[in-house]
């Protein structure tokens, strides 16, 4: 353990105590009590060996064990070697309760307190070697199980925030490489990099992409946030491929476009939440993914992914009960004007006659299914499709109810600002959203949450 590491450990121990309250409950695997631990610090060392075409990661994790039992962690790629408190141990993939996902259970019972874990793995996902270079992007998919950081490096479930540092070396080549990330990157000679990430990061926050320097066009500018802070924005895209040429992408995704989106979001929800912003401008026409202070995005999805930097990666889902919330909010944001326009069109079709309450409610209710709940088991990591449609119609319906009952004084848009201000940089569960909606509106939404959100059978 080096000195910086010791210092970080001391500094961040207090911070991670919060994680204990958020942690899912222990469960039995045979006779063994499997326990979710609390990561305090992780130091990842990645060596990309160009000659061997091999990416070896040594991950050193200090964690807190909350009670006696067998500790859980996760990485998809089968570890080459696992050491717990300097001793070689076995670990196995196990099913989490309700088969919600899988994690790795270390076959050694340990006492409560601080422990160290060193795991060696080979990074196999989204990695491309050629004779002189490597391209490895830690790209996540929230609609697929085990597709956050665990796809690349050992980590924990999303409830856990911990301090992360990555040391990278690319050996066996002189081709210069660049790292794009949402941490602070220190570039050292001979393709060595050191990256330090903010302390509020979880397994779904971190962004990392290493590639040969010449593979991308890069544009940087400073965005002046409404709170006066300067945010460094980096936009990069693959050189000259695909339908949208690199030049076009850089112009369109470039400073005037991204700056406009940032201004708009700041006006609606407040200052940009993260220290920087990195945008990987993709070739595709649709789709993208959000990180904390980073997005990979097509042109059309940019605003949606940037919005997730407020809802999803600043306010963060604690577990499977909350995975749908940020998608519901982002989808409501994308679609609310269309939903409201549909109601207006209905009015025109009825020759300008006012619609009855029932007719208006039906527009929302026919899009809400009573046997398809938005919440999932706490161990579930992936978001499902219904988070979008069922989620946006639920928010639109609740917005309609609160507007009607307050004579236009309380609206969903204002609630979202209130909710963001109250919950930013914290972890939320489904019940927190209900509590905040009720606090803001003075209404009781138990009926709607019981019908559409909470899965009583779990
Ligand atoms: Zn989304």
Give the pLDDT confidence of 192-222 residue by residue, as tens digits. 999 999 999 999 999 999 999 999 988 899 9
Cα–ligand 1 centroid distance for 32 (angstroms)? 38
Return the exposure string of 317-349: e unless at least 16 CB atoms fall within 10 Å of the residue's CB, then b.
bbbbbbbbbbbbbbbbbebbeebeeeeeeeeee
Cα–ligand 1 centroid distance for 72 (angstroms)? 29
Greatest Cα pair distance in the chain: 78
Q: Are 236 and 166 in contact (CB under 8 A)?
A: no
Model confidence at 10, pLDDT cuts 50, 70, 90, reads: very low
The CA distance from 163 to 47, in Å, is 20
Cα–ligand 1 centroid distance for 96 (angstroms)? 25
Cα–ligand 1 centroid distance for 331 (angstroms)? 7
Model confidence at 25, pLDDT cuts 50, 70, 90, reads: very high
Q: What are phi and psi of 181, to 5 degrees?
A: -160, 175
The CA distance from 147 to 144, in Å, is 6
Model confidence at 17, pLDDT cuts 50, 70, 90, reads: very low
Supply the CATH classification number for the domain 216-308: 3.30.2010.30
What pLDDT, on the 0 to 100 scale, is given for residue 313?
98
What pLDDT, on the 0 to 100 scale, is given for residue 458?
60
* Sequence ranges of the domains in the chain: 3-206, 216-308, 316-452
Look at residue 129 and tell me whether its pLDDT is greater than 90: yes
Look at residue 172 and tell me whether its pLDDT is greater than 80: yes
Task: Return the percent helix, strand and coil in the chain, to nearest 5.
Answer: 30, 30, 40
Report field, pTM of the whole predicted structure over 0.75? yes
Those residues with Cβ within 8 angstroms of residue 190's Cβ, 6 or more apart along the chain or in another chain: 169
Cα–ligand 1 centroid distance for 194 (angstroms)? 30
The helix or strand, by DSSP H or E, that contains position 122, with its residue range, turns out to be strand 113-122
Q: Are 270 and 416 in contact (CB under 8 A)?
A: no
The CA distance from 211 to 213, in Å, is 6
pLDDT digits (tens, 9 = 90+) for 135-164: 999 999 989 999 999 999 999 999 999 999
Provide the β-strand partners of residue 412: none
Write down how long the chain is.
458
Provide the β-strand partners of residue 230: 224
Cα–ligand 1 centroid distance for 300 (angstroms)? 12
The CA distance from 66 to 83, in Å, is 19
Q: Sheet harboring 32-36: ordered strands across?
A: 27-29, 32-36, 70-73, 102-106, 91-95
Model confidence at 346, pLDDT cuts 50, 70, 90, reads: confident
For residue 267, the number of C-alpha atoms closer than 13 Å in the C-beta half-sphere is: 6
Cα–ligand 1 centroid distance for 188 (angstroms)? 36
Provide the β-strand partners of residue 23: none
Cα–ligand 1 centroid distance for 390 (angstroms)? 14
Supply the CATH classification number for the domain 316-452: 1.10.390
Cα–ligand 1 centroid distance for 289 (angstroms)? 7
Cα–ligand 1 centroid distance for 330 (angstroms)? 6
Cα–ligand 1 centroid distance for 124 (angstroms)? 26
Cα–ligand 1 centroid distance for 383 (angstroms)? 10
Model confidence at 11, pLDDT cuts 50, 70, 90, reads: very low
Cα–ligand 1 centroid distance for 8 (angstroms)? 33
**Topology of the domain covering 3-206:** Immunoglobulin-like (2.60.40)
Those residues with Cβ within 8 angstroms of residue 332's Cβ, 6 or more apart along the chain or in another chain: 391, 392, 395, 396, 399, 412
Cα–ligand 1 centroid distance for 444 (angstroms)? 28
Residue listed under structure tokens 């610090």? 41
Cα–ligand 1 centroid distance for 305 (angstroms)? 6
The CA distance from 293 to 19, in Å, is 22
DSSP 8-class letter at 93: E
Cα–ligand 1 centroid distance for 297 (angstroms)? 11
In 348-445 the beta strands, taken as DSSP E runs, fall at 427-428
The CA distance from 309 to 295, in Å, is 8
């Amino acid at each position: 353990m080096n000195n910086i590491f010791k210092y970080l450990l001391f500094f961040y121990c207090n911070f991670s105590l919060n994680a204990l309250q958020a942690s899912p409950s222990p469960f039995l695997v045979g006779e063994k009590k499997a326990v979710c631990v609390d990561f305090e610090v992780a130091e990842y060392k990645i060596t990309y060996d160009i000659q061997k075409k091999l990416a070896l990661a040594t991950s050193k994790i200090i964690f807190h064990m909350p009670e006696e039992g067998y500790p859980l962690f996760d990485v998809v790629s089968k570890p080459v070697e696992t050491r717990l408190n300097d001793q070689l141990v076995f670990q196995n993939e196990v099913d989490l309760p309700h088969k919600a996902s899988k994690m790795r259970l270390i076959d050694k019972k340990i006492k409560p307190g601080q422990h160290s874990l060193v795991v060696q793995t080979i990074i196999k996902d989204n990695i491309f070697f050629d004779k002189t270079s490597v391209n490895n992007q830690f790209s996540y998919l929230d609609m697929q199980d085990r597709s956050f950081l665990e796809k690349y490096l050992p980590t924990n479930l999303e409830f856990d925030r911990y301090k992360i540092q990555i040391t990278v070396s690319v050996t066996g080549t002189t081709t210069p490489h660049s790292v794009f990330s949402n941490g602070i990157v220190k570039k050292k000679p001979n393709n060595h990099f050191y990256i330090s990430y903010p302390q509020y990061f979880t397994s779904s926050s971190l962004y990392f992409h290493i590639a040969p320097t010449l593979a991308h066009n890069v544009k940087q500018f400073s965005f002046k946030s409404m709170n006066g802070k300067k945010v460094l924005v980096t936009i990069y895209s693959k050189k000259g491929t695909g339908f949208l040429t690199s030049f076009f992408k850089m112009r369109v995704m470039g400073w005037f476009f991204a700056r406009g989106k940032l201004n708009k979001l700041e006006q609606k929800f407040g200052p940009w939440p993260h220290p920087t912003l990195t945008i990987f401008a993709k070739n595709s026409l649709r789709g993208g993914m959000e990180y904390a202070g980073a997005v990979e995005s097509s042109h059309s999805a940019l605003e949606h992914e940037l919005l997730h930097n407020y809802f999803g990666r600043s306010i963060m889902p604690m577990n499977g009960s909350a995975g749908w919330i940020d998608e519901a909010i982002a989808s409501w944001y994308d679609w609310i004007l269309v939903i409201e326009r549909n109601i207006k069109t209905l009015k025109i079709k009825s020759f300008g006659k006012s619609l009855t309450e029932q007719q208006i409610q039906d527009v929302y209710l026919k899009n809400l299914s009573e046997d398809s709940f938005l919440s999932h088991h706490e161990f579930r990591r992936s978001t499902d499709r219904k988070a979008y449609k069922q989620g946006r119609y639920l928010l639109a319906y609740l917005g309609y109810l609160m507007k009607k009952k307050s004579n236009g004084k309380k609206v969903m848009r204002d609630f979202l600002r209130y909710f963001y201000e109250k919950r930013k940089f914290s972890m939320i569960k489904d019940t927190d959203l209900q509590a905040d909606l009720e606090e803001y509106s003075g209404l009781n939404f138990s009926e709607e949450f019981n019908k559409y959100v909470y899965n009583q059978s779990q």
